[in-house]
Structure 1
């Protein structure tokens, strides 16, 4: 019996240390074995237990002296009621307090999405955020700096009140591993409070039937709820609620941009950082009552002759019902998460990487929140905008797509007749993408000087074309829109630092093997999401297994990589403080003496209301201002390609009208001929009848006149 109780005790201890146990607030884990020191903090919402991590536990790579600055991490803080069961596809309610001590020592799994549905622990109960700070006010318990990774408490220490610091709220893209995979070790070098937000994405976050029953935009309502939480609670973590910057990458940037244009939500923050995206990018938003979503795959419900692959939300909703075997919303709510994610994967199976049909719906009639405006009519805007791209935005998509279409790029002719039409069909829709004039002008713009057999160069050209169309052109359009509206200062950048040692394995779903394939290019490409690697410590693997470990920035092993990372975090820090980014002056203090540059102050000029658009080049030795990045390529997509597309559509319509006119004319002539023929036949038959009748009448008259004379003769 004693052995039995000993075994039972050991089992319970092990279960308590490994497995999370949620409470009725949907956000609490019991504290388990943890390699990081814990810290108990008291807030107005309740007691919360976080962990302590270090900015840089390997200081020899950045400086000669020890650098043991630490910060606090609070991960998995609930801000909204779990959207499970009957609350699926409904707006969440706020969570501002918790009943017991909240365990915030480990990251929570991400919201369900294609590619992560098989991960252990994935659940719809995913509305959590993470707070990183060095600025805790030590009022009720005064913790000294940890020594040897263990917190100590001094009862004689006086309470310390620190000034509130700027806050950056970050929204990851739809295709990332979620907010829990972004560690703020690098950004904690600066005087900031960082918040990363997990919100509903994909079908669970943006499914809509175009009516009040499923209005959509649940992911955006989650973000608004998190921003309200920041306004009410971030001061307990040392953040200034009046100095909040909303940042986002990819589709996260789309949401940040949309919310900045709306009065009801723009009051929750005052400036934005947009990385590789905005609501002007193709396929980023849908408008109720219009043709909303550029979509390349075939949907069973939409098979008409005039189909242009622009699918209404209602059609996508019907497709979701069909794939899950449902006919009602209640049935759809009863389906498992795996069923919903599988249906989304099937709907989007032919789409390019980073593209989705489940996007924000800008509506005027469905409800009062969160999006009730058309961006072109918006009068509100952020006080400052920091917007930028990487040098090779389209490389990831191009490489993945080309790997499946190797035979189609063997020659210029196959590119023109097979590869390019198929690619454009996936980018802009079947009818638009298959227009010969439209495809031809794109071919001449990008592939006209290509030599057959240059596979590497072809991939680079395809990558440039995709990046220019999907990102670079809409970034320029966004800059033009805001500088004409005068809605605040604008600073633009291009991230162009390349390093072949940076692993992309944890970055936005890019595999390291795919990144190594880029080494065939003349220069090491800088694909979409590379800039994130210099701002964040990617913790995807730790988040998936739900085992917190000391995750640091040791992934940047080279000295120059650390310098670029320091420049990036410094830019974010200065922008969050003043709205004016300030790069490090040529890194002169860090470069070897043989290559050191003069420490000339760099002025990052804001974008003027007219004239050239200035960009800051984030690099190592080639940093500085340059102007009108990809101007001609962007002008091609924003003006020439659109004009050719419209002209091609009109020509197509004109040809249709001509064919219809000819057909109608022939039908008209045939009808006239038939009418004339029938009239002629009728008249002819009538005449025959008249002639026959006239002959019979004459015969009768003749007989009548001759009868008396015959009788007289007989008599």
Structure 2
């Protein structure tokens, strides 16, 4: 009789394992909205997991719900087919627009392999608040699901539909950011059913998605919905992505273009809700004044017309997303003090200057039109008083190019560095300094200078250009999220495989522990990641780059090197701090 008890327990254990495997195979989950059936996928290293795609987290923002805060999605009838991505939101550039207003869907990827709840990582895509989606082919889970995490990728409204504002209660604005908040509320309510821990939610995003992450740190509306944050190449201090003036006039320009009244904001917005979405998208106003031609599309991308705005808390708008400028909020110290990773890639500017630096003909054009081009691509008008733009521009050119203003393939990285610093490095650095001054100590800063086999831009790949364009904006995603996933995209023993393992380990460690290297001896290459303020009077970087000779390249790529570098960009950051930029002024 004594031997029968262990035998019964053994059979019970086998039954539980079989039941768990059946749940895994079925990929069926039940939440308050109803039952959802997903499909199975396989991770990079062969782990099977469940994919639930196209789950609605908010009601379609159409008709009377257009230009309003999102409404939580209701239940569905029957069993939801969660095997396909949801619609992408309306987006594009004139004259080509596509997408569907019924677009507030999210995807969940979970191994469901253990009874213990796992950390949750919620990804917010980039695209200048103008384009993007959460489709699995663009932001796949195959690397991250090699680790014990649950991944959620979300959609949000874009462009005019996500950011139109009248500056009052008629349309307070920030609808895209409020969509993200609603997705995070959905995660809090439902993620445990997918094996996720609602008390360990990390939000992470790239570019505009990274900016969104920083905005959530600053927003009272997001408080308690996440517990850690990662901003990849994006911050709330990016001058092109916040607007404090001309808010109503923008909405009025759109209204006038589509035949709606402009005097009364309530009537303006009410009318816009009745206009066909294609008409709205195709009639968006623009401040781009670059002459028509082959580069006009490129330069007009710098015209981020619809942006986050400050709101006023009123009875009709009781939950504003932001009520002040981001710098003011950071300086006040009144924000969500969660562990925060920020960082940049070494050659972000290559992405933003690509049409001007990728061929000799492009360099010739850049040299012939340097003054005009630089004034646009450095967007000094966003940060510098009109009467000081010329002087400031000259100082930038002198600092980066010196007396030799002719840009060649040998010196092109000087202008790329200038664009890198203006677009990303300085506002990320400024963000870190302000957070540290406010007493926000759990800040981790990185710089990624490891140039692998693949790049976000085809022309930046090895062999496709006359020279190396470096590590572009968004290139870090090559090691975190999968695009058009192929299991054999690297040869066996390729150095990039170590990079994937290092970054995925650091990101998932952070999601799990709030520290990317909780055990120093287990850190990638044995290099622990200190906080940005660990060394007094320095800003400390965790740097990914390449081993130097005598290390030999493998498949034309030198092996990964990880190191800690204090004040990596001190001279360049001191220069930008010396300029009369609005972001350098005490508020």
TM-score (norm 2): 0.81
CA distance in 1, matches of 2:473, 2:522: 25
- C-alpha displacement of 1:212: 1.5
Is contact 2:53–2:108 with CA below 8 Å preserved after alignment?
Answer: yes
CA distance in 2, matches of 1:552, 1:75: 20
1:478 to 424, 427, 431: 431
Aligned-residue RMSD, C-alpha:
3.2
CA distance in 2, matches of 1:202, 1:193: 29
The aligned residue for residue 504 of structure 2 is 569
1:391 to 317, 338, 346: 346
Is contact 2:392–2:579 with CA below 8 Å preserved after alignment?
Answer: no
CA distance in 2, matches of 1:380, 1:319: 34
CA distance in 1, matches of 2:335, 2:583: 33
The aligned residue for residue 163 of structure 2 is 206
- C-alpha displacement of 1:386: 0.8
2:79 to 86, 89, 101: 101
Is contact 1:394–1:464 with CA below 8 Å preserved after alignment?
Answer: yes
2:278 to 322, 333, 338: 338
Which structure's CA Rg is the greater one? 1
Distance 1:106 1:422, change over 3 A: closer
Is contact 2:451–2:471 with CA below 8 Å preserved after alignment?
Answer: yes
Q: Does 1:520 align with 2:455?
A: no
Distance 1:338 1:272, change over 3 A: same
- C-alpha displacement of 1:429: 7.4
Is contact 1:567–1:583 with CA below 8 Å preserved after alignment?
Answer: no
- Please give the per-residue CA displacement for 1:82-126, whole angstroms capped at 9, x wherever unaligned: 011222111121125322211110112321112499577x20000
- C-alpha displacement of 1:365: 4.6
Q: Does 1:321 align with 2:266?
A: no
CA distance in 2, matches of 1:643, 1:94: 38
The aligned residue for residue 130 of structure 1 is 107
- Please give the per-residue CA displacement for 1:279-321, whole angstroms capped at 9, x wherever unaligned: 112222223xxx4xxxxxxxxxxxxxxxxxxxx1122212222
1:177 to 132, 139, 147: 132
- C-alpha displacement of 1:74: 0.5
Distance 1:45 1:464, change over 3 A: same
The aligned residue for residue 623 of structure 1 is 562
Alignment of 1:296-695 (within 5 A): 312-327=246-261, 328-344=268-284, 346=286, 351=299, 353=301, 356-365=304-313, 367-368=317-318, 369-375=320-326, 376=328, 377-401=332-356, 407-410=364-367, 415=370, 417-424=371-378, 428=382, 432=386, 435-450=389-404, 452=406, 454-457=407-410, 459-499=412-452, 501-504=453-456, 510=457, 512-513=458-459, 519-521=465-467, 523-539=468-484, 551-557=485-491, 559-582=494-517, 601-608=526-533, 610-619=536-545, 620-642=559-581
CA distance in 2, matches of 1:349, 1:556: 44
Distance 1:455 1:600, change over 3 A: closer
Is contact 1:381–1:487 with CA below 8 Å preserved after alignment?
Answer: no
- Please give the per-residue CA displacement for 1:161-209, whole angstroms capped at 9, x wherever unaligned: 6100011111111345311131111100111111111001111000112
CA distance in 1, matches of 2:248, 2:227: 35
Secondary structure in structure 1 of the residue aligned to 2:543 = strand
User: How many residues are paired up?
Assistant: 520
Secondary structure in structure 2 of the residue aligned to 1:363 = coil
Q: Does 1:47 align with 2:4?
A: no
CA distance in 1, matches of 2:271, 2:463: 45
CA distance in 2, matches of 1:104, 1:118: 29
CA distance in 1, matches of 2:486, 2:186: 28
Secondary structure in structure 2 of the residue aligned to 1:326 = coil
Is contact 1:433–1:439 with CA below 8 Å preserved after alignment?
Answer: no
Secondary structure in structure 1 of the residue aligned to 2:240 = coil
Is contact 1:217–1:360 with CA below 8 Å preserved after alignment?
Answer: yes
Is contact 2:87–2:100 with CA below 8 Å preserved after alignment?
Answer: yes
CA distance in 1, matches of 2:583, 2:119: 47
Is contact 1:37–1:52 with CA below 8 Å preserved after alignment?
Answer: yes
- C-alpha displacement of 1:631: 1.7
CA distance in 2, matches of 1:344, 1:459: 35
Is contact 1:518–1:525 with CA below 8 Å preserved after alignment?
Answer: no
- C-alpha displacement of 1:503: 4.7
Q: Does 1:189 align with 2:143?
A: no
The runs of 5 or more residues in structure 2 that have no matched partner are: 1-23, 262-267, 291-298, 546-558
CA distance in 1, matches of 2:449, 2:522: 16
